[in-house]
Amino acid sequence: MISLAAFAGAATEAADSRYTTVRASPDGIGKVYLGREIAKVMSYSGAYWLERPERKEEENPERVLAELELKPGMIVADVGAGSGYYSSRMAERVGSSGTVYALDIQPEMIDILRLQMSQRRVTNVKPVLCTETDPRLPAGTLDLALMVDVYHEFEYPYEMLAAIVKALKPGGRVVFVEFRANDPGVPIKALHTMTEAQVRKEAALHPLEWVRTVGELPWQQVIVFRRR
């Protein structure tokens, strides 16, 4: 009979084999997943950038929100919520009967988010301090999980996406919003961009079905998947 320690060791080895190590680039952590170096996490000290007025013109968040097809009563997650820019807007759309779990890995960012929600008098956003591998979401409860310009920073993208998918209801959706890679019109550092092909490659390792891609945003693309 295999021991618990041996089983845990085998699981750790399998997880480690998903990733390789390279010399870190200026914007990366030196860890590679499916041919992509993982980007450094944006510090909470840059939270002001998330609330910049120019974001409306540069990212067209209203179009992104329209693509989410939110309805009153939905249970949704804003993964990597930062200051809560999208959390508050999602909360308005799901209404008082709905819930938005707003996740971030930085305690300081959670504090900023709480302050923003208090100032905006938003009461249906639940801040969640997550870890590198665990979003700390209740299993099988979400109608939708949104990740805006954050997935490329996950230190453990396989584990995090697996846990997010586990939190979805059958038929629930996960939505990636990422800056378009290889587009000279997108003034974002390369490691903080992704191609649609790379997103779909990584999502294919999970029980997700691609639904559609919206590429008409100024700098970003919206890539929608549904849990099978």
Query: How many CB atoms sit inside 10 A of residue 33's CB?
Result: 18
| CATH class belonging to 42-227 | alpha beta
Calpha distance 57→27 (Å, rounded) = 25
Name the DSSP class of 159: H
Contact 20, 34 (CB under 8 A): no
Calpha distance 29→50 (Å, rounded) = 22
Indicate the average pLDDT of the chain.
Answer: 94
Is residue 125 over pLDDT 60? yes
pLDDT for position 4: 46
Is residue 15 over pLDDT 80? no
Place of tokens 């989410």: 68
Query: What pLDDT band is residue 210 in, cutting at 50, 70 and 90?
Result: very high
Q: Which two tokens stand for residue 6?
A: 């041996």
Calpha distance 222→59 (Å, rounded) = 11
Torsion sign over Cα 85, 68, 152, 58: negative
Q: Which of 2-16, 38-52, 57-71, 153-167 has the lowest mean pLDDT?
A: 2-16
